[in-house]
């Protein structure tokens, strides 16, 4: 049964442990220990690739990348004092065509 069919209504977030539980449920012949190890390998590979400045693309799902944010002036909201913000890297995710279509279809069906 797909994950979407088992989910309760309302906003949810999926955690690492929930993801592992769902995979173990869908693939009972694979041990939880192996699923946890596989997830750790995937997370490590994603991080190493992004640290190296490369993109990670999963066709249909989306892509992860790193953007360099320029240095700029900001404001402390508590004091309204102007502060200098340093240049920094940030990770972004861009949803793929299939994921966008799936999410859009599920949102449209709920209206």
Give the torsion sign (CA, 58, 59, 61, 65).
Answer: positive
Q: How confident is the model at residue 111 (pLDDT cuts 50, 70, 90)?
A: low
- pLDDT, residue 106, reads 83
Q: Are 71 and 85 in contact (CB under 8 A)?
A: yes
Residues 6+ apart with CB under 8 A from 69: 87, 88, 89, 90
The pLDDT tens digits for 85-97 are 999 999 999 999 9
What per-residue confidence (pLDDT) applies to 108?
81
Mean pLDDT along residues 43-67: 94
Taking the C-alpha atoms of residue 4 and residue 20, their distance in angstroms, rounded to an integer, is: 15
Is it the case that residue 69 has pLDDT exceeding 50? yes
Give the span between the Cα atoms of 39 and 22, in whole angstroms: 12
pLDDT, position 110: 63
Predicted TM-score of the model (pTM): 0.70
């Amino acid at each position: 049964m797909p994950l979407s069919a088992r989910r309760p209504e309302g906003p949810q977030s999926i955690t690492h442990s929930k993801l592992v539980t769902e995979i173990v449920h869908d693939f009972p012949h694979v041990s939880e220990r192996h699923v946890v190890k596989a997830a750790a390998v995937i997370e490590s590979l994603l991080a190493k690739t992004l640290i190296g400045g490369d993109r990670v693309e999963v066709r249909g799902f989306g892509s992860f990348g790193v953007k360099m944010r320029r240095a700029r002036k900001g404001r402390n909201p508590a004091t309204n004092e102007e502060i200098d913000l340093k240049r920094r890297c940030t990770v972004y995710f861009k949803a793929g065509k299939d994921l966008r279509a799936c999410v859009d279809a599920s949102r449209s069906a709920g209206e």
